Structure 1
Amino acid sequence: MPVLRQLYQQLVYQIQILSPMVFIGFVLLHYLICWTGLSLAGEEALTDIVNFIYFCSVVGSTVGFGDLSPSGDAGKLFLTFYMIPATIILYAAGLTKIAWIFQTMREMNIKGQRDFSDYNDHVILFGWQPVIGKKTIECILKDKKRANSKIIICTTDDQQTHPMLEHPDVRFACVSSYTDDQELERIALARANRVMIHALNDQDTITIALKVSPLVRTSCHVVAFFNDESASRLLDNHCRNIECFSDRTAEQLARSVQDPGASRGINQLLDPGKGATHYCLLIPESAPVMKVINLRLALMLDYNATLYGISERKTGDDLRLNPDKDTTITAGTYIHYIAQERLLAEDIDWDKAARWQL
């Protein structure tokens, strides 16, 4: 019996390591042999297509209802010496293989080994710092009308596992290098909609940014955080398509002590989970020319939103806060506003907005 058990285990193992297509081929071949054997044995009732599939399922699952069985000696012998053992082995191996596939997929997801090359319009976060990274992603997820549904956390730490498994829209990729072309293809960098760079140090952030800058599409917005403001200015001079910024603790402290409640206002403007917050919108090409006063009135009275700034560049380097009411706004301008939720370009009647008057 130990010999038979070992033989059974070895057969199951050999079947498990087969590729799915080869395994399916073996299953089909087995069914063909079974159908041929039962046909040659004269078991016409069992070779009816419906009865045959049902009978094979009963045999493989070892349920044994007893409502179908061979009627002749040849059929019984064929069932005893081939069909029962072979079907049970294939069924056991098949169920084990299915479980193994799901387990492998889960491990690949946890360890960051999945392939995301088919992704499009997603967010990529380069670098993982647990406290800041988790809070950043949670803030993005609070924006229910965001244009990017999936977020990929990307790190080179091979000891790190998926840090936010509880969020179905968050993926995890462990890469060998932030600058490896094949790895960047695996996370579909060229088709990303947003890219965030927050590495462990400013040198890594600069390296990633210099690699990413020419590879992203024109519509992709890239932001990079620096601990040192001089490093932020350095990259800003070389990569004009990246919005670079650094820690603003000193400025926030100064504003808070001079203007009570300023820190609360700044925090709420940054967190969509706390009510009205800051959003940015690109005016579409179909929008007519208008003045700031027209758009400000339209947003306030029709959409309960407040216009507070405009810029021509996506990075906001030329941002003008509280622009003069007679300033002209054209298609392609970025407007910055405060609202309870994000407004999409199609939500706004631009022709009506251009006609608003006091």
Structure 2
Amino acid sequence: MPAMHLILSRVARRLYNRISSLSWDTVLTMTFIHFATSWGLIAFVGGEKIASGEIFWYFYATTATTVGYGDYSPTTAAGRVVATIWVMPGGIALFTTIIAKIVQQFSEKWRKRLRGLANYENLSGHVVILGWHDVRTQRMVDHILGGQGDDKREIVLCCAETMENPMPDQVRFVRAAALNTPDLLKRAAVANAVFVIAFGRDDNETLAAALGAAAVNGGAHIVAYFDQQSFADLLKAHCSRAEANVSLSIEMMVRSAQDPGSSRVQRQLLSTLEGPTQFSLQVPHDAVPVTYGALFTELKSKHEATLFGVANSTLGDDLILNASLDASVGPGMTLYFMAPQRIDPARIDWPALA
């Protein structure tokens, strides 16, 4: 039995390889020729009702697909011989070949996506992550999905390592030799992304990836993580709209040592997966100026949110934390608050606050 199983496996593998090598033109041509010759032979033997043009195609289809309803079949001895030695074997073989080709195409498409070779350049409004760091990237994806609310966006993960999609149920996957190659940036549709996160294997790769993304997308918000401040400064010098994050692990450890329990505050403020977390919103450009105190009360009483910071710009050095109650908050300013969920600026009654 094991020997027979081995022989059958080899035969099946060879047949699959042969079928895979056939082009669709060849398969369809063979099917048309077989259909035509089958019809011609049935008509040639004579005396067969199935030779009618209205019936033969139906008879051929039910025979080739092995359905065989039995409502139409050869009635003469010669017709049965033709059906037995030509129509049935050839039709079934060709139908099996077509099914195998269809399965092969779907399988190749799925494998191509799994290997990171697919093209997603038609995507838009999505999120791109440049770089793979095992558990850290998985947590990043979880936090992105957790913080989206009702605004669900596709995530495209890009890497420069030989691997398959590590999170096929959550992200689309693009792989190339480097994170800043034109091919990778094109297939990941970086030009159409809403924001891009660059987190390479080292600061050099992160910088190259961030600058590559900035070169093809002039409107996306680009965020990069560095170990050294000098690389963050270099990115800001070449791309002022990029947001560079530098490791704050030392500062966090000192704060936790001086104020025990601070780590849980830091974790919850940044986590989209547990409890209230930090969000931001931009004051509508048609809103009238209001006071920080009135806005603080509005957010707390009607939205269960705590306002703790305001800024005139998104990335400048003008952030004010714990502003005075009579400080003015005007159109276009950015608010930072802690809340169970993101707040749509349209849900705030700006005229009433004024």
> Could you say which TM-score interval applies, normalised by the shorter chain?
0.7 to 0.9
Question: How much does 1:356 deviate?
Answer: 2.8
Alignment partner of 2:350 out of 310, 329, 353 = 353
TM-score (norm 1): 0.84
Q: Which residue of 1 aligns with 2:188?
A: 187
Uncovered stretches (5+) of structure 1, i.e. residues with no partner: 1-5
Separation (CA, whole Å) in 2 of partners of 1:342 and 1:46:
70
Amino acid across the alignment from 1:152: V
Are the counterparts in 1 of residues 116 and 174 from structure 2 also a CA contact under 8 Å?
A: yes
Secondary structure of 1:139 counterpart: helix
Secondary structure of 1:59 counterpart: helix
Separation (CA, whole Å) in 2 of partners of 1:42 and 1:339:
83
Alignment partner of 1:90 out of 88, 94, 97 = 94
Q: Which digits, 9 at most, give the CA deviation of each residue in 1:53-92, with x for residues without a partner?
A: 6533432233545342122456434433432222112111
Are the counterparts in 2 of residues 308 and 336 from structure 1 also a CA contact under 8 Å?
A: yes
Q: Which residue of 2 aligns with 1:128?
A: 132
Q: Which residue of 2 aligns with 1:153?
A: 157
Separation (CA, whole Å) in 1 of partners of 2:243 and 2:41:
71
After superposition, the Cα gap between the structure-2 partners of 1:56 and 1:253, relative to the gap in structure 1 and judged at 3 Å, is same
After superposition, the Cα gap between the structure-2 partners of 1:63 and 1:326, relative to the gap in structure 1 and judged at 3 Å, is same
Separation (CA, whole Å) in 2 of partners of 1:291 and 1:251:
32
Separation (CA, whole Å) in 2 of partners of 1:8 and 1:79:
26
* Worse-matched range after superposition: 61-70 or 146-155: 61-70
Aligned ranges 1:159-174 → 2 under 5 Å: 160-165=163-168, 167=169, 169-174=170-175
Separation (CA, whole Å) in 2 of partners of 1:28 and 1:9:
26
Amino acid across the alignment from 1:111: R
Are the counterparts in 1 of residues 290 and 353 from structure 2 also a CA contact under 8 Å?
A: no
Q: Which residue of 2 aligns with 1:206?
A: 207
1:289 aligns with 2:289: yes
1:239 aligns with 2:246: no
Secondary structure of 2:91 counterpart: helix
Q: Which residue of 1 aligns with 2:117?
A: 113
Question: How much does 1:110 deviate?
Answer: 1.8
Separation (CA, whole Å) in 2 of partners of 1:69 and 1:15:
30
Question: How much does 1:14 deviate?
Answer: 5.4
Question: How much does 1:340 deviate?
Answer: 0.5
Kindly report the root-mean-square deviation, in angstroms, between the aligned alpha carbons of the 2 structures. 3.0
Alignment partner of 1:60 out of 51, 60, 64 = 64
Separation (CA, whole Å) in 2 of partners of 1:230 and 1:335:
29
Are the counterparts in 1 of residues 179 and 205 from structure 2 also a CA contact under 8 Å?
A: no
Q: Which residue of 2 aligns with 1:321?
A: 321
Separation (CA, whole Å) in 1 of partners of 2:177 and 2:228:
26
Amino acid across the alignment from 1:197: A
After superposition, the Cα gap between the structure-2 partners of 1:10 and 1:201, relative to the gap in structure 1 and judged at 3 Å, is closer
After superposition, the Cα gap between the structure-2 partners of 1:226 and 1:71, relative to the gap in structure 1 and judged at 3 Å, is same
Q: Which residue of 2 aligns with 1:3?
A: none
Secondary structure of 1:337 counterpart: strand
Are the counterparts in 2 of residues 123 and 148 from structure 1 also a CA contact under 8 Å?
A: no
Aligned ranges 1:261-340 → 2 under 5 Å: 261-315=261-315, 317-340=317-340
Amino acid across the alignment from 1:208: A
Paired residues, number = 344
Are the counterparts in 1 of residues 176 and 183 from structure 2 also a CA contact under 8 Å?
A: no
Separation (CA, whole Å) in 1 of partners of 2:24 and 2:82:
27
Uncovered stretches (5+) of structure 2, i.e. residues with no partner: 1-9
Question: How much does 1:291 deviate?
Answer: 2.9
Are the counterparts in 2 of residues 58 and 65 from structure 1 also a CA contact under 8 Å?
A: yes
Question: How much does 1:145 deviate?
Answer: 1.3
Question: How much does 1:216 deviate?
Answer: 1.5
Separation (CA, whole Å) in 2 of partners of 1:8 and 1:77:
28
Question: How much does 1:122 deviate?
Answer: 1.0
Secondary structure of 1:79 counterpart: helix
Alignment partner of 1:71 out of 71, 75, 83 = 75
